[in-house]
Structure 1
């Protein structure tokens, strides 16, 4: 993925999160806290595990591949949102992780 495409993904992700913030304000009077966002992410991360089980025919669920694909995308979206909310540059964090990990194998 090129840098410009990832920048666009981040921009779109944060715009979607802002739309959800507006819904939260309508329904609850306030935006979700960072802790609530984190719990939502952890819930979705757990669902990836269940969807992987379904994909491997170890858990019965219809259309497991479509759900797995959706949940994987949603988890990446959540990581972008959480990085933004904590002031972390997700591109820099990923680059540092990849470089450090690649160096382990040199």
Structure 2
């Protein structure tokens, strides 16, 4: 799946959440609520990394939980990007080009 396809799929899933939120809450989550959801899941990745390193105990399959939470974090990035008007696949490509180019110059011993 390409980043563009993943972005589209994330927004399809978000649309389903919005239907549920409207039914249960009478509204959809605000941007700050979405951001809080993301930071909560991202923080839990930290605990899962500790669990993978055997310095933090959790119930369940650590590898499965890591796969799930990392995928959820990616989902949140696409959802937040959509709400903020950021084309995440394009931003990712340009950011990696910039960082990669700087690192390539540094590895070759040239200043960036």
- SS, match of residue 60 in structure 1: coil
Q: Does 1:39 align with 2:36?
A: yes
Deviates more, 1:33-42 or 1:5-14: 5-14
**Pairwise CA distance, 1:95:** 1.1
Corresponding residue pairs, total: 103
Looking at structure 1, the residues matched to 72 and 92 of structure 2 have their Cα atoms a distance apart, in angstroms, of: 17
Looking at structure 2, the residues matched to 47 and 35 of structure 1 have their Cα atoms a distance apart, in angstroms, of: 18
The one-character-per-residue Cα deviations of 1:9-58 (angstroms, maximum 9, x if unpaired) are 11111000010011111111100001100000000000000111111111
Runs of 5+ in structure 1 lacking a partner? none
What is the alpha-carbon root mean square deviation over aligned residues? 1.1
* Bigger radius of gyration: 2
Moved beyond 4 Å, runs of 4+: none
Q: Does 1:10 align with 2:1?
A: no
Q: Does 1:89 align with 2:71?
A: no
- Structure 1-normalised TM-score? 0.92
**Pairwise CA distance, 1:99:** 1.1
Q: Report 1 or 2 for greater relative contact order, CA contacts < 8 Å, sequence distance ≥ 6.
A: 2
- SS, match of residue 58 in structure 1: coil
- Structure 2-normalised TM-score? 0.87
Runs of 5+ in structure 2 lacking a partner? 106-112
